[in-house]
């Protein structure tokens, strides 16, 4: 082996494994650098008041949103008016990929985000400049909530649609309340504030900023603490639990029964 | 189990000729096909190969010892994974390991017993014949005789006072149950009224669940949904509070006033600038209806998928509910807070016999 290695090195040819390793390394370095670069831009602060950002947003709006929402965001047959929805609504809808919508349907599903964070903020700045509306919450509005109070408020106001563990649930005619476990805190806050699609609005007089903080704390707690009951089966309740026990529990009993009654060889 | 030594060799219907009992009125039809008897006896590997028998025997006792290990494991799990106060993960480990121990202990015990029976115990086919259930005449006559003797000796037919006393005592015995079950129902109030009226009355403010904060009409923006309880509910003792809440829970929403259609024009006055309040108790079987869609204005009951249209006086548009949700008449007081103008005008929740009386 050694001799062979030496000879292959001498001949100047690289072995296939080495080429593959180099390729993987190269891809990792490029991809990592790109990710680091884009992450550093994503966290960049955008001044929503600046005229430059608003103008940038207006251009993006005209190119991507005006078909349905109208040139002045006044709304058309195909889409509602965005006057007064505020930057929070834009950051939620565009920031979770729900807008721009791919096709008219019962509800706009979450999908990969179509814009960079800067572009989303620029769009938000433009829409917010049209009329006053709920604005994007600051980072300190999302942390240090009271989990117990949040749990109670969640069960009273949210759990009927989103499931008590935030696993989501079905609504009427193809609509659904999405699961909340993978949703960022800022988007949860914005959703409560603006009532996207069929979700009711929970303005600051219904759930105060303190209440919203508590609800987010409850959701974060759920995310970070495994279920005491062990295997959660997606926290969907009797449907998934029933299916599991019917298939595996009764399956095991059927198997044992066959074994008991089969003749020993 | 009794084994018949002539296993399978004489599997024919036994005739009444040799039997000590008669067949009675049973019709003995000739078999449509001849009884094929047992399939040929097949020796198991444990019968043929002493080594295999040894191994099966070992498997059985190892399983029994494994069962003991499982039981001990459960005891140790109880000791070493105790439930700590306030630590929810400890509950998971506790139940998981105790459960695994007990599972191993029972499963190994059961599998060992079955394996013992199947592989090690004697393998012989046997037949136990059925016999008619009816006894012979002699036995039957004797049984009647015994009853007569007992009647004679006890005087059951002769001493009628004793007999009637016994029957009366047995009839009286279940009577206390009626009193006990009556005690479960509300005593000093009419249950019908309990079901027909709620805590709501004229002037009572609408407040937020769970804090009891009163709600101003200006607090509701278009598309808002508030979970509402009556003013003063939170101050009640817990049991009364829960009973009152179960009937008085209300969903308060605000729509554009032009979206609301009033089939009964008088009821428009029950709303305030597009704010309407409906009972949250489903008219089907009483689940809380609170899945409100703010764009379609549909309200969905999660239990049986009844749907109510808020724009049309909560009319049922789908599902098993028979009646619209009762509307709570509301207005605002001098300070701008939302108040009820009366109780619900019909009983909330599912039907009951005296509902429309």
Model confidence pLDDT, tens digit, residues B307-357: 999 999 999 999 999 999 999 999 999 999 999 999 999 999 998 888 887
Q: Say how far apart CA B325 and CA B307 lie, in whole Å.
A: 10
Examine the domain organization and report whether B62 and B167 are in the same domain: no
Examine the domain organization and report whether B53 and B114 are in the same domain: yes
* Structural domain span for residue B235: 194-340
Q: Residue A133: how many CB atoms within 10 A of its CB?
A: 18
Token digits of residue B250: 């209300």
Yes or no, beta carbons of A160 and B96 under 8 Å apart: no
Chain B nearest-CA distance from A86, in A, is: 14
Chain B nearest-CA distance from A253, in A, is: 12
Find which of B106, B291, B306 to mutate to test the A interface (most A CBs within 10 Å of its CB): B291
For the cut 70, the answer to whether the pLDDT of residue A4 exceeds it is: no
Chain B segment 304-333 residues within 8 A of A by beta carbon are 305, 307, 318
Rg (CA), chain B: 37
Q: Are strands B275-279 and A176-177 parallel, antiparallel or unpaired?
A: unpaired
Chain B nearest-CA distance from A205, in A, is: 6
Give the CB-side neighbour count of residue A112, counting CA atoms within 13 A: 1
Find which of B223, B227, B278, B308 to mutate to test the A interface (most A CBs within 10 Å of its CB): B223
Yes or no, beta carbons of A230 and B46 under 8 Å apart: no
Of B200, B218, B221, the closest CA to residue B270 belongs to B200
Examine the domain organization and report whether B243 and B302 are in the same domain: yes
Q: Say how far apart CA B204 and CA B231 lie, in whole Å.
A: 6
Nearest to B302 among A160, A229, A259 (CB): A160
Examine the domain organization and report whether B142 and B229 are in the same domain: no
> Which pLDDT score is estimated for A1?
44
Q: Say how far apart CA A55 and CA A199 lie, in whole Å.
A: 31
Examine the domain organization and report whether B63 and B98 are in the same domain: yes
- CB contact at 8 A, B273 and B310: no
All residues of chain A having their beta carbon less than 8 Å from the beta carbon of residue B89 are 226, 228
Examine the domain organization and report whether B233 and B268 are in the same domain: yes
> Which pLDDT score is estimated for A14?
61
For the cut 70, the answer to whether the pLDDT of residue A7 exceeds it is: no
Q: State the average pLDDT for chain A.
A: 87
Kindly state whether B221 is in contact with chain A, defined as any CB-CB distance less than 8 angstroms.
yes
Q: Say how far apart CA A194 and CA B221 lie, in whole Å.
A: 10
Kindly state whether A44 is in contact with chain B, defined as any CB-CB distance less than 8 angstroms.
no
Token digits of residue B75: 């005891």
Chain A nearest-CA distance from B8, in A, is: 18
Q: Record the pTM.
A: 0.72
Q: State the average pLDDT for chain B.
A: 89
Answer yes or no: is B1 within a domain. Answer: no
Answer yes or no: is B163 within a domain. Answer: yes
Q: What ipTM was reported for this prediction?
A: 0.75
Answer yes or no: is B5 within a domain. Answer: no
Q: If you count them, how many residues does chain A have?
A: 265
Nearest to B92 among A160, A169, A228 (CB): A228
Token digits of residue B336: 């701008």
Chain B nearest-CA distance from A20, in A, is: 45
Find which of A160, A232, A261 to mutate to test the B interface (most B CBs within 10 Å of its CB): A160
> Which pLDDT score is estimated for B11?
47
Examine the domain organization and report whether B174 and B89 are in the same domain: no
> Which pLDDT score is estimated for B4?
45
Give the CB-side neighbour count of residue B178, counting CA atoms within 13 A: 5
Chain B, nearest residue to A133 by Cα? B221
Q: Say how far apart CA A15 and CA A6 lie, in whole Å.
A: 12
In terms of average pLDDT, the best of B15-24, B33-42, B56-65, B173-182 is B56-65
Kindly state whether A132 is in contact with chain B, defined as any CB-CB distance less than 8 angstroms.
no
For the cut 70, the answer to whether the pLDDT of residue A74 exceeds it is: yes
Examine the domain organization and report whether B299 and B318 are in the same domain: yes
Give, in order, the Cα–Cα distances in Å from A3 to each of A6, A10, A132.
Answer: 5, 10, 77
- CB contact at 8 A, B84 and B104: no
Size of interface A-B (CB pairs under 8 A): 86
B64 Cβ contact list (under 8 Å, min separation 6): B108, B109, B112
Yes or no, beta carbons of A201 and B209 under 8 Å apart: no
Q: Which domains does chain A have, with CATH numbers?
A: 51-130 (1.10.760.10), 139-228 (1.10.760.10)
Q: Say how far apart CA B73 and CA B68 lie, in whole Å.
A: 8
Answer yes or no: is B345 within a domain. Answer: no
Yes or no, beta carbons of B224 and A201 under 8 Å apart: yes
- Residue B332 belongs to a domain with what CATH number? 2.102.10.10
Query: Burial level of B166, CB count in 10 A (0-12/13-18/19+)?
Result: exposed
Examine the domain organization and report whether B160 and B76 are in the same domain: no
pLDDT, one tens digit per residue, over B6-52 is 444 444 444 444 455 666 777 777 767 887 888 888 889 999 999 99
All residues of chain A having their beta carbon less than 8 Å from the beta carbon of residue B42 are 263
Structural domains of chain B, count:
3
- Classified as helix, coil or strand, B309 is strand
For the cut 60, the answer to whether the pLDDT of residue A37 exceeds it is: no
Q: Helix A117-130 vs helix A51-64: angle between axes, to the nearest 10 degrees?
A: 100
All residues of chain A having their beta carbon less than 8 Å from the beta carbon of residue B220 are 205-206
Q: Say how far apart CA B316 and CA B304 lie, in whole Å.
A: 13
Kindly state whether A264 is in contact with chain B, defined as any CB-CB distance less than 8 angstroms.
yes
All residues of chain A having their beta carbon less than 8 Å from the beta carbon of residue B302 are 160, 169
Q: Are strands B225-230 and B250-254 parallel, antiparallel or unpaired?
A: antiparallel
- Classified as helix, coil or strand, B119 is helix
Answer yes or no: is B202 within a domain. Answer: yes
Examine the domain organization and report whether B85 and B220 are in the same domain: no
Give, in order, the Cα–Cα distances in Å from B91 to each of A34, A227, B308.
Answer: 45, 11, 42
Yes or no, beta carbons of B216 and A169 under 8 Å apart: no
pLDDT, one tens digit per residue, over A216-251 is 999 999 888 877 777 888 888 888 899 999 999 999
In terms of average pLDDT, the best of A15-24, A77-86, B9-18, B160-169 is B160-169
Examine the domain organization and report whether B212 and B302 are in the same domain: yes
Find which of A134, A262, A264 to mutate to test the B interface (most B CBs within 10 Å of its CB): A264
> Which pLDDT score is estimated for B194?
86
In terms of average pLDDT, the best of A34-48, B17-31, B121-135, B198-212 is B198-212
> Which pLDDT score is estimated for A13?
59
Nearest to A157 among B223, B227, B300 (CB): B227
A226 Cβ contact list (under 8 Å, min separation 6): A232, B89, B92
Characterise A197 by phi-psi region: left (phi > 0), alpha (psi -120 to 50), beta (else).
left
- Domain end marker among B183, B217, B238: B183
Kindly state whether A157 is in contact with chain B, defined as any CB-CB distance less than 8 angstroms.
yes
For CA atoms A111, A112, A115, A116, give the dihedral sign: positive
Yes or no, beta carbons of B92 and A230 under 8 Å apart: yes
Examine the domain organization and report whether B95 and B173 are in the same domain: no
For the cut 70, the answer to whether the pLDDT of residue A5 exceeds it is: no
Find which of B47, B60, B118 to mutate to test the A interface (most A CBs within 10 Å of its CB): B118
Kindly state whether A152 is in contact with chain B, defined as any CB-CB distance less than 8 angstroms.
yes
All residues of chain B having their beta carbon less than 8 Å from the beta carbon of residue A79 are none
> Which pLDDT score is estimated for B39?
83
Chain B nearest-CA distance from A160, in A, is: 6
Answer yes or no: is B172 within a domain. Answer: yes
Of A183, A190, A146, A144, the closest CA to residue A162 belongs to A183
Q: Say how far apart CA B107 and CA B67 lie, in whole Å.
A: 8
Yes or no, beta carbons of B296 and A226 under 8 Å apart: no
All residues of chain B having their beta carbon less than 8 Å from the beta carbon of residue A172 are 293, 296, 298, 300, 305, 307, 318
Yes or no, beta carbons of B210 and A206 under 8 Å apart: no
Kindly state whether B211 is in contact with chain A, defined as any CB-CB distance less than 8 angstroms.
no
Token digits of residue B168: 């009366």
Answer yes or no: is B227 within a domain. Answer: yes
A241 Cβ contact list (under 8 Å, min separation 6): A233
Chain B nearest-CA distance from A230, in A, is: 6
């Amino acid at each position: 082996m050694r001799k062979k290695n030496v000879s292959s090195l001498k001949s100047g040819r690289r072995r296939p494994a080495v080429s593959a390793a180099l390729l993987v390394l190269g891809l990792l370095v490029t991809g990592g650098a790109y990710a680091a670069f884009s992450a550093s831009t994503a966290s960049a602060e955008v001044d929503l008041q600046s005229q430059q950002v608003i103008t940038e947003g207006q251009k993006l709006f005209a190119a991507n949103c005006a078909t349905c929402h109208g040139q002045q965001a006044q709304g058309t047959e195909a889409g509602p008016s965005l006057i007064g929805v505020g930057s929070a609504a834009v950051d939620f809808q565009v920031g979770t990929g729900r807008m721009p919508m791919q096709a008219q349907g019962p509800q706009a599903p979450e999908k990969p985000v179509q814009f960079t964070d800067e572009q989303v903020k620029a769009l938000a700045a433009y829409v917010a400049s049209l009329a006053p509306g709920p604005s994007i919450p600051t980072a300190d509005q999302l942390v240090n909530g009271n989990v117990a109070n949040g749990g109670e408020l969640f069960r009273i106001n949210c759990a009927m649609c989103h499931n008590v563990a935030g696993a989501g649930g079905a609504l009427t005619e193809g609509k659904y309340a999405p699961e909340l476990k993978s949703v960022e805190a800022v988007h949860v806050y914005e959703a409560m504030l603006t009532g996207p699609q069929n979700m009711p609005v929970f303005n600051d007089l219904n759930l105060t900023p303190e209440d919203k903080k508590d609800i987010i704390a409850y959701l974060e707690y759920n995310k970070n603490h495994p279920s005491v009951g062990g295997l959660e089966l997606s926290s969907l309740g009797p449907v998934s639990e029933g299916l599991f026990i019917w298939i595996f529990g009764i399956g095991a009993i059927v198997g044992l029964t066959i074994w008991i009654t089969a003749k020993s060889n | 189990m009794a084994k018949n030594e002539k296993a399978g060799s004489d599997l024919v219907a036994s005739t009444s000729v040799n039997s000590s009992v008669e067949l009675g009125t049973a019709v003995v039809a000739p078999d449509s096909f001849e009884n094929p008897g047992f399939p040929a006896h097949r020796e198991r590997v444990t019968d043929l190969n002493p080594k295999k028998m040894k191994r099966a025997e070992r498997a059985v006792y190892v399983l029994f010892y494994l069962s003991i290990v499982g039981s001990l494991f459960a005891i140790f799990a109880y000791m070493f994974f105790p439930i700590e106060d306030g630590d929810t993960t400890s509950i998971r480990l506790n139940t998981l390991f105790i459960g695994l121990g007990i599972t191993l202990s029972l499963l190994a015990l059961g599998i060992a017993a079955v394996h013992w029976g199947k592989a090690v115990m004697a393998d012989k086919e046997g037949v136990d014949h059925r016999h008619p259930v009816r006894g012979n005449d002699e036995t039957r006559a004797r049984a009647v005789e015994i009853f007569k003797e007992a009647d004679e000796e006890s005087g059951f037919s002769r001493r009628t006072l004793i007999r009637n006393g016994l029957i009366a005592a047995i009839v009286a015995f279940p009577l206390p149950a009626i009193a006990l079950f009556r005690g479960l129902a509300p005593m000093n109030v009419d249950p019908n009224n309990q079901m027909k009226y709620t805590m709501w009355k004229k002037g009572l403010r609408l407040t937020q669940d769970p804090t009891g904060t009163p709600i101003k009409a200006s607090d509701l923006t278009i598309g808002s949904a508030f979970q509402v309880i009556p003013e003063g509910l939170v101050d009640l003792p817990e049991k009364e509070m829960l009973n009152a809440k179960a009937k008085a829970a209300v969903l308060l929403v605000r729509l554009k006033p032009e979206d609301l259609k009033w089939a009964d024009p008088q009821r428009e006055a029950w709303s305030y600038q597009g704010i309407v309040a409906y009972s949250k108790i489903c008219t089907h079987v009483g689940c809380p209806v609170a899945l409100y869609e703010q764009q379609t204005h549909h309200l969905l009951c999660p239990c049986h998928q009844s749907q109510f249209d808020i724009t049309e006086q909560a009319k049922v548009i789908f599902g098993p509910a028979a009646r619209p949700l009762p509307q709570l008449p509301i207005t605002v007081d001098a300070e701008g807070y939302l108040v009820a103008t009366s109780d619900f005008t019909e009983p909330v929740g599912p039907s009951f016999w005296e509902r429309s009386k």
